[in-house]
Structure 1
Amino acid sequence: MQGINNTKFENKTFFYRMKLALIFMFLLTTLLVIRIYNLQIVNHEYYLEEALGNQMHTLPITPSRGKIFDRHGNILATNKLAFRLTLTQEKTKNIIKTLQQLKQSGFINDNDIKIFNKNAKRYQKFHSIPIKYNLNETQVAKFLINNTFIGVDIEPYFHRIYPNQDSGVHVIGYVSRMTKKDKKNYDKKNYLGTLFVGKTGIEKQYEILLHGTNGLQQIERNVNGRVIDTKIIKPAISGENLYLSIDLDMQKKAETLLKGKRGSIVVIDIRNGEILTLVSTPIYNPNWFVNGISHTNYNQLQTSANIPQLNRAVQGLYPPGSTIKPMVALVGLEEGVITNKSSIFCPGYYKLPNVKRKFNDWKKIGHGHVNVKDSIAQSCDVFFYDLADKLGIDKLHDNLDLFNFGRKTSIDIPGESAGILPSKAWKKINKNEPWYRGESLITGIGQGFIAVTPLQLAVATAAIANKGLLFRPTLLKNTQVPGNIIIESKKKDHHIQIPIKNIQNWEDVIDGMKQAVYGPKGTARRLNNGLTYSLAGKTGTAQVFGLDAKEQYIAEKLDEKLRDHALFTGFAPIENPEIVIAIIVENAGNGSSKAAPIARQVFDVYFNKQLNNTFP
C-alpha cells in the first residue's frame, strides 16, 4: 500500500514522461515543418512540374501525308479517314486479360496481339497504342455500343489508299508500318508518333517531302485519367503534294498490253527526260501492305516464280540484243572504222581467221551485201560481228559508256541497277580470265556479258534521237504545299552532251532506224501500216542461253524460261522527236512480232491524245 500512495514518485514519473512526449512531439513537428518547407519552398517548382506532369501530357500531332498525282492531276495515292482500335497502358489494369477479351469478342486476332506486344515497348505509358487498323463501320458500331474495356478506345486516323489498285505500283510504291530500322533513317523528333513510312518507289524516294512536319498538342486529364482539355501548341504542317510526269492513261494501256507476261515498257519525253510510262509486269496491289499484308497475299508474292515485286524497268538486267546495234554502228562511224558507204557480204555466218567456230546470223541464208543503214534496218548480225572485231572491246566499252550503259541513270526512284558494260578489266576482276576476241563479236550484237535495264535502253535510244543530248530521266514533275500554287521541280545536272565528231554519222544511224520501219526489208516494217506519225525503231531478240554453231533454236522444244526475250526501241516523230520507247517481253521470242506491235499501240495512245489536245 505504501507504493501506491507514493505521490512524490508518481509525480516525478509523470513529469518525466511528459517531458519525453513533448520532446518527441517537438521533433516530429520540426521534421514536419522542415518537410513542408522543403516541399513548398525549396522544391516547389520541381514538384509543381511533377504534379502537372500527371495531369498534362504533350503529344505529337502526326501531319497529313502528301498526295501523289500523275501529270494531269489524276490521283495516284491519297488519304482516307479510317478508324483504329487503341489501348493506353496506364489506364488498363490487366493488359493481357484485356487483349484476350478483345480477341474473344472478335475485335482482334493472335497476330494483332503479337504486333501490339512487339510495339508496346516503343510507347510511353500514357500513349494510346494501335491494336487494329482500318476497322469497318460494323466493327466500330459494335465496339461503341458494348464498350466495357477500360483504356481501349476507337480513334480516327488517315489511311493511305491507292485508288488505281495495282496500276503504277512499281512507280508509286507503297507505305507500311514503321520498323526499328526505319526509325534510324529518319529524324526521331519529327517522326515521333508516325506509324507509316514509304517502303518502295516514290513513296520512299520522297518520304521527307510527303511526310510533312510534326505538331504538338497538350492533353489535360483529370484524376480518373479522362481527357478534359486539349490544346494545340504547334500545328502540324502537312506533307507536300507530288505531281509525277507519268501519264496514267499510257501507264494503264502499257500494263494491259503486258498483262499475263513478264516484261517492261519505258516511255520517256525526249525533250526533257520526263518519264511518261514506267511499267514492270506482273504487278501487285500496294493496298495490301498499308495496314499489314495478310499471310495469303504475302505467300502469293514470295512464292511466285514471276517475282512481281521486282521492278524490271530499273532493276531487271537483260542482254540488249539487236537494240544496241544503232549505238555500235555510231561508234564505228565516229571512230572512223567504217563510213556510210562501207559494206560487207553476209552469207549467214561470220568466221574469225584460224578459228573453227562459226558465228551465225539470225538469217540463215544471209543478207547479201549490206551497208551500215541496211545492217540496222535488217538487223544483220554479220555486219556487226565484223565491226565489233575491228573496233575491239576497249573502243566498244569506252564509247558505249557515253550512252550511260554500265552506270545508273540516277532516276529518282530507289533500287536502280547499274547493269554490266564488259571490258578486259571487268572480266579480269569478275571472272579472273582474259578477254577473248570472239567475246567482242557477241558484245557487238548485244549478247554475252553485257546486261542493261529497260530504262537504260530508253535513255540511250533517246540520246540517238537527240543527236547526243543525254537527259537524266525523272519522275517528279511538280510539287505543291497544300493550299499553295504548284511549283515546278528543280532538276540538277539534268543533261549532258555526248561528243560529236560528225553530225552526219548520227543522221545515218537515225536513217537506218527509219528504214527498219519503212524499208521493204526492215524488221519492223509491219508497223508502218496506217501510221499517222513518223517512227524510227529497232527490233531485238536476245538469247537467254548460248547455242553451239550446229544447234538449232526451236522455241516450242524449250522450257518457257529459256526462250528468247523480245525487244523493241524506237522514237517518234523522226524529224522533231518527242517520245522514245523501250520494251522487253521476257521469253516471248521474236522482237519484230512480239514487242514492236506493243510499241505501236502505246505510241498511238500518246499521239491520239496529242491530236485531241489532251496531252500537255
Structure 2
Amino acid sequence: MWEQSFRDKSAEIRLFRSRAIILAIVITLMLAGLGWRMAHLQITLYDKYQNLSENNRIKIQPLAPKRGLIYDRNGELLAENVPTYSVTLVPEKVPDIEETLNFLDDLIGVSERDREQFERRRELRRRPYDPVVVRHKLTEDEIAKVMVNRNYLPGVDVEAQLVRHYPQGETFAHVLGYVGRINQREQNQLDADPDTERRYSASRYIGKLGVEKHYESDLHGEPGYQKVETNARGRITRVLEQVDPIPGEDITLHLDARMQRLASQLMEGRRGAVVAIEVKTGGILTMYSNPGFDPNLFVTGISHKDYNALRDNPDLPLFDRSIRGRYPPASTLKPFLGLGVVDMGVASWSQTINDYGSFQLPNSERVYRDWKRQGHGKVDLKRAIVESCDVYFYDMAVKMGIDRIHPFLQSFGFGQRTALDVDNTYSGLLPGREWKQATRRSHWYAGDTVNLGIGQGYMQATPLQLATATAVMANRGKWVAPRLMLSHSGDTTIDESTTPPDVVLNNEKNWDRMFNAMQNVVEGTHGTARALLRKLEHPIAGKTGTAQVVGIAQDAEYDSEALRERLRDHALFVAFSPVDDPQIAVATIVENGESAGRTSAPISQALINLYLGGGEGE
C-alpha cells in the first residue's frame, strides 16, 4: 500500500518513452551507418574489391619454355628433355612443414638428401608462394598416394615438368656441360635486367658449363603464362586463358657421337684427352677428357656425398683436360719449329748437323742430351722430324732465336684462345722475353731457347691448341677457327672477327715437304710412329712427343720402372689425314703414357679411320 502511494506512473512512462526514442535513434543511426558502409563498399569501392576478389580467385602463372635439344652432326640426340613428376610444397600454405615432410616420408619416402635439397631450394625461392620441389621422379604409385591424401596435405601438390637428361652420360660430360638449379648469384644477375628476369620468371634451371652455358640464350626459349581459377585451398580448378611458351632453339654440333664414344672406349683406364678437328670447316669432331662424370647427377641437385667423391678423386674427373689441361708439347712442336727454320732461311732442308747425343751452348757446362744416348749421326731436317732428333732442334732453336720463334709459333695459335664457342679454355703458355721479365723478373737466356726447341721448359699447350695448330698446318696455313656449332634452328651466327690471320710462308713448297716428313714419321723405317703401319688404312702425317713430368739428372737414364706411375712421361701425338688432301686433324695426350707410338698414336689413328672410313673403328 505504502509502495503504491509513492510510485509516479506517468513519470515512468515518460522515462521509458525517452529511452526507447534514444535507443531507436541509436539503432537507426547504426543501421544508416551500416547501410552507408555497405553502399560504400559495394558501389563506391566496387572496382577495388572486385579486383581483390578476382586476384584471390584468379592467378597468373608463368609457364616455363621447353629447352632446345642438342644433336650431333649425324642427328643423334645428345641432350633431351624427359617428363617427370615432382611433389611440391608451398611453405606459406603449410601449418607445420616438418610434420608434412614426415607424412610425405611415410607415404612415398623422403630421404635426407631430399630434405637437404628442399631446404636449399626453399632458400633460393624468388618470391613468396612459389612451390618448392620436395622430391623428383615420382612413380605412378607414389603419385596416386599423394593425390589420395591431398586433403591432409595443404600446400602440397604433384607437378609435371620437363627435366634435362643426357643419354650419353659421361661421354659428353665436359663438352656439353650441364644445366642446374639457378643459384643466388645467378638469380641476382637475372633480376638485374627486367627482360632477363621476365624470361626466367618460370625457369628453375640454367646452363652451368660447356655448350649448355655458351648457348643458354638460344636454348632457353621464351616463357608463356596461364590464367587459372583457384579454390580456397589455392588448388587450380580450371584454366581460363593460356599463352603457350616458345620453346628454345635446337642446336646441331659438329661433334660426332661415334667418334666420341670410340675415344671414350680407347681412353678407358687412362687419364688424358683427345681433340679432333675437321680441317676445312674448323668443326670440332671430338673433344673428350678422361676420366669424366655423369652430368645427370647435377641437373636436379647433386648430393654432398656424390660431389665430394668427384671432388676428392685424385684422377680429377671434374677437370676438363681437353681445354684446361696444360702440357709441354714436347716433340709435337718440332714440325712447327722446323717450318720456321727453313722458311726463315736459318737452315735448308739439305743442311745437316752432326748429332753425337748431346748439345752444349758456347761457354756453358750444361749438357742437353738427346733422347737417343749415342745420337743420330748426320741429320737434316727431314730426318730430325722422322726420328725426332733433339740435338738438331736444340741447335736450330738457338740459331733462330726467341725473337723469331715466338711470333712464328704464335701464328699457329699457341699461347692464344682461338676457339669461337668453347668457354673456359686456357690459353696455354708461349714464353718469351716480355713474359719472363713480367712473371719471373728475369732475362731470357739461351738455355730457355734450347728447352723451347723441343717443346719443353716453360712452354705449355692444351690438347685443343695442339689440334688447332695441327689443323692450321694441314690447311697449309689457312685459319679456320675451331667451333662446336654446326647449325642452328634460329638465326644465330658465330662471330669470326677474332680469327687470327693466315700463316703465309715465303716458300709454299715447304708445306708439302713438311707433310712428307711427317708422313715418314708413320711410314718411314725409323719413324717414331711406325707401329701404326699395321693398321694403316689412310695415309697419316703425324708427330710423336714425350713430355717429361719430372726432371732427371744429366748423367742419369730415364728408368720407367723406378718411377711411380704418375711421374712417368706423358705421351703425345698430333696427326692429320689424308696427307694429299687433309680432312681431319687430331691431338691425343695420354698422361704418363710414356711411348706415344704405343698409347696416344693408335687412339688418333682409330679416330682417323672411323672418320674417313665411316666404320666403327678399332
Asked if TM exceeds 0.5, the reply is yes
State how far apart, in whole Å, the 1-side matches of 2:10 and 2:148 are: 79
Q: Give the CA deviation at 1:336.
A: 2.4
Q: Where do 5+ consecutive residues of structure 1 fail to align?
A: 482-486
Residue 216 (structure 1) aligned to one of 225, 228, 236: 225
Superposition pairs of residues 231-310 of structure 1, within 5 angstroms: 231-310=240-319
Name the SS of the counterpart of 2:299 in structure 1: coil
Residue 386 of structure 1 corresponds to which residue in structure 2? 395
Name the SS of the counterpart of 2:575 in structure 1: strand
Please, which moves more after superposition, 151-160 or 370-379? 151-160
Name the SS of the counterpart of 1:455 in structure 2: helix
Residue 499 of structure 1 corresponds to which residue in structure 2? 504
1:453 aligns with 2:462: yes
Please, which moves more after superposition, 382-391 or 6-15? 6-15
Name the SS of the counterpart of 1:189 in structure 2: helix
Residue 486 of structure 2 corresponds to which residue in structure 1? 477
Task: Work out whether residues 343 and 506 of structure 2, in 8 Å CA contact, stay in contact via their aligned partners in 1.
Answer: yes
Please, which moves more after superposition, 496-505 or 121-130? 121-130
Residue 362 of structure 1 corresponds to which residue in structure 2? 371
1:317 aligns with 2:335: no
State how far apart, in whole Å, the 2-side matches of 1:263 and 1:383 are: 29
Residue 545 of structure 2 corresponds to which residue in structure 1? 540
Distance 1:21 1:514, change over 3 A: same
| Paired amino acid for 2:517 | G
Residue 404 of structure 1 corresponds to which residue in structure 2? 413
Q: Give the CA deviation at 1:551.
A: 2.2
Distance 1:540 1:49, change over 3 A: same
Residue 81 of structure 2 corresponds to which residue in structure 1? 79
| Paired amino acid for 1:154 | V
| Paired amino acid for 1:501 | N
Residue 193 of structure 2 corresponds to which residue in structure 1? none
Q: Give the CA deviation at 1:305.
A: 0.4
Name the SS of the counterpart of 2:322 in structure 1: helix
Q: Give the CA deviation at 1:152.
A: 2.0
Residue 582 of structure 2 corresponds to which residue in structure 1? 577
Task: Work out whether residues 420 and 495 of structure 2, in 8 Å CA contact, stay in contact via their aligned partners in 1.
Answer: no
State how far apart, in whole Å, the 2-side matches of 1:490 and 1:544 are: 38
Superposition pairs of residues 27-38 of structure 1, within 5 angstroms: 27-38=29-40
Name the SS of the counterpart of 1:154 in structure 2: strand
Residue 132 of structure 2 corresponds to which residue in structure 1? 129
Distance 1:20 1:110, change over 3 A: farther
1:137-176 residue CA offsets vs partner (Å, 9 max, x unmatched):
4433443455542332222221222222222111122222
Q: Give the CA deviation at 1:123.
A: 5.4
1:95 aligns with 2:97: yes
Task: Work out whether residues 411 and 501 of structure 2, in 8 Å CA contact, stay in contact via their aligned partners in 1.
Answer: no
Distance 1:331 1:530, change over 3 A: same
State how far apart, in whole Å, the 2-side matches of 1:300 and 1:210 are: 30
Please, which moves more after superposition, 150-159 or 443-452? 150-159
| Paired amino acid for 1:130 | V
Residue 187 (structure 2) aligned to one of 180, 183, 192: 183
1:596 aligns with 2:598: no
| Aligned residue pairs, count | 607
State how far apart, in whole Å, the 2-side matches of 1:224 and 1:415 are: 48
Distance 1:521 1:24, change over 3 A: same
Q: Give the CA deviation at 1:78.
A: 0.9
Residue 69 (structure 1) aligned to one of 64, 68, 71: 71
| Paired amino acid for 2:171 | S
1:519 aligns with 2:520: no
State how far apart, in whole Å, the 2-side matches of 1:24 and 1:391 are: 112
| Paired amino acid for 2:137 | N
State how far apart, in whole Å, the 2-side matches of 1:606 and 1:406 are: 29
Please, which moves more after superposition, 305-314 or 588-597? 588-597
Task: Work out whether residues 569 and 583 of structure 1, in 8 Å CA contact, stay in contact via their aligned partners in 2.
Answer: yes
Distance 1:559 1:55, change over 3 A: same
Question: RMSD of the TM alignment (CA)?
Answer: 2.4
Distance 1:36 1:488, change over 3 A: closer
Distance 1:324 1:185, change over 3 A: farther
| Paired amino acid for 2:284 | I
Residue 351 of structure 2 corresponds to which residue in structure 1? 342
Please, which moves more after superposition, 129-138 or 444-453? 129-138
Superposition pairs of residues 38-53 of structure 1, within 5 angstroms: 38-53=40-55
1:201 aligns with 2:210: yes
TM-score (norm 2): 0.92
Distance 1:512 1:49, change over 3 A: same
Q: Give the CA deviation at 1:285.
A: 1.5
Residue 111 of structure 2 corresponds to which residue in structure 1? 109
1:561-589 residue CA offsets vs partner (Å, 9 max, x unmatched):
11100000010011111000001000110
Residue 423 of structure 1 corresponds to which residue in structure 2? 432
Q: Give the CA deviation at 1:37.
A: 4.4
| Paired amino acid for 1:567 | L
| Paired amino acid for 2:375 | G
Task: Work out whether residues 334 and 393 of structure 2, in 8 Å CA contact, stay in contact via their aligned partners in 1.
Answer: yes
State how far apart, in whole Å, the 1-side matches of 2:387 and 2:209 are: 41
Residue 165 (structure 1) aligned to one of 159, 164, 169: 169
State how far apart, in whole Å, the 1-side matches of 2:350 and 2:298 are: 58
Q: Give the CA deviation at 1:10.
A: 4.1
Name the SS of the counterpart of 1:216 in structure 2: strand
Name the SS of the counterpart of 1:497 in structure 2: coil
Q: Where do 5+ consecutive residues of structure 2 fail to align?
A: 191-195
State how far apart, in whole Å, the 2-side matches of 1:223 and 1:149 are: 14
Superposition pairs of residues 535-574 of structure 1, within 5 angstroms: 535-574=540-579
State how far apart, in whole Å, the 2-side matches of 1:441 and 1:477 are: 41
Task: Work out whether residues 420 and 494 of structure 2, in 8 Å CA contact, stay in contact via their aligned partners in 1.
Answer: no
1:315-337 residue CA offsets vs partner (Å, 9 max, x unmatched):
11000000011111122223222
Name the SS of the counterpart of 1:556 in structure 2: helix
Name the SS of the counterpart of 1:140 in structure 2: helix
Name the SS of the counterpart of 1:280 in structure 2: strand
Distance 1:554 1:228, change over 3 A: same
Residue 484 of structure 1 corresponds to which residue in structure 2? none
Name the SS of the counterpart of 2:170 in structure 1: coil
State how far apart, in whole Å, the 2-side matches of 1:257 and 1:409 are: 27
Identity over aligned pairs, percent:
36
Q: Give the CA deviation at 1:198.
A: 1.9
